[in-house]
């Protein structure tokens, strides 16, 4: 099995006629993802990579049964696009663009909660269930079907972890890019809950980074997990007050350091991996 997306997911690409939208639509289709529709207001009737274009997401849902959306829109249009998708009945919305205004993400989260939808991102590489579906911009070369789930705030760290799991024979059930913006649509806890319920996921690798409190909110859920959780946190040597890559990766005030995050995760029962090569060693010791 997998979480969030699989071979039965019916995906709509919002912004399909743009450069990024059309490019990644082609990539996702080549992987085998079921892209059933795209949107671009005023361009209904066009065809992109064999995919029909509609003016609105609701039209896509009515015509194709779409149930997953991936957004390739400029940041200033993500609020309208995400809320449109959620109100159209889409239950998984993947927000690829970065630097989404904080108040916009708060409004999106509120709307998603009202309608029982899950928003991944902003600034996410997306979601991939190896061999089943790739929704976003994940480079499929790093991923192989297997038994370990991953959730990470960083796209590039997701790829490195997956490559480590794939080359060491574990493979992945689903890899989720939580996103690198300061305000995210989904928390680590929600993804851990889904993995804990997935019968084919034997363990979970959680990858955090400096800044924000998402990792430090996670320990209560880790303590209840029925499966092992391995944790890494990037930015152990990052200087306070300097942004390290993502908009949310900055230590401000007394919270958000890698050391604090690692301590909180370890105290909750997570197995700490200090390097990528530690991951298969720990999994083998746990008998995963």
pLDDT(247) > 50: no
Question: Residue 252: which pLDDT band, with cuts at 50, 70 and 90?
Answer: low
The two tokens of residue 78 are 């993500």
Task: Give the per-residue pLDDT at 239.
Answer: 56
**What are the two backbone dihedrals, phi and then psi, of residue 30, each rounded to the nearest 5 degrees?**
-60, -30
In this prediction, residues 218-243 reach a mean pLDDT of 80
Catalogue all structural domains in the chain, each as residue range(s) with its CATH number: 11-120 (3.40.50.720), 139-286 (3.40.50.261)
In this prediction, residues 269-281 reach a mean pLDDT of 95
With tokens 């630097």, the residue in question is: 99
Catalytic residues: 246
pLDDT(87) > 50: yes
The pLDDT > 70 percentage for the chain reads: 91
Beta-carbon contacts of 92 under 8 Å, excluding residues fewer than 6 positions away, are 4, 5, 9, 67, 68, 69, 117, 118, 120, 127
> What is the length of the chain?
288
Query: What pLDDT, in 10s, does the model give residues 38-77?
Result: 999 999 999 999 999 999 999 999 999 999 999 999 999 9
Helix (H, G, I), strand (E, B) or coil at 149: strand
User: What CA–CA distances, in Å, run from 237 to 209, 244, 260, 276, 281?
Assistant: 11, 11, 12, 17, 24
């Amino acid at each position: 099995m997998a979480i969030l997306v699989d071979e039965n997911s019916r995906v709509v690409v919002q912004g399909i006629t743009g450069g990024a939208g059309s490019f990644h639509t082609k990539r996702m289709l080549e992987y085998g993802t079921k892209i059933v529709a795209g949107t671009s207001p005023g361009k209904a009737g066009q065809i992109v990579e064999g995919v029909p274009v509609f003016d609105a997401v609701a039209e896509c849902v009515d015509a194709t049964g779409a149930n997953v959306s991936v957004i390739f829109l400029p940041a200033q249009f993500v609020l309208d696009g995400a809320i449109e998708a959620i109100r159209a009945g889409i239950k998984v919305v993947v927000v690829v663009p970065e630097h989404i205004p904080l108040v916009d993400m708060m409004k999106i989260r509120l709307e998603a909660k009202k309608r029982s939808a899950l928003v991944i991102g902003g600034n996410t590489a997306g979601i991939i269930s190896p061999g089943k579906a790739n929704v976003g911009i994940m480079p499929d070369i790093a991923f192989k079907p297997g038994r370990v789930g991953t959730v990470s705030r960083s796209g590039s760290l997701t790829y490195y972890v997956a490559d480590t799991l794939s080359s060491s024979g574990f493979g992945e059930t689903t890899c989720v890019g939580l996103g690198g913006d300061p305000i995210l649509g989904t928390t680590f806890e929600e993804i851990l809950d889904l993995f804990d319920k997935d019968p084919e996921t034997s363990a979970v690798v959680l990858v955090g980074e400096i800044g924000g409190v998402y990792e430090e909110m996670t320990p209560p859920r880790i303590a209840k997990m029925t499966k092992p959780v391995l944790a890494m946190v990037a930015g152990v040597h990052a200087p306070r007050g300097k942004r390290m890559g993502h908009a949310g990766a900055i230590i401000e005030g007394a919270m958000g350091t890698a050391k604090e995050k690692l301590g909180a995760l370890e105290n909750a029962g997570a197995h700490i991996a200090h390097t990528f090569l530690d991951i298969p060693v720990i999994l083998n010791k746990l008998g995963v």
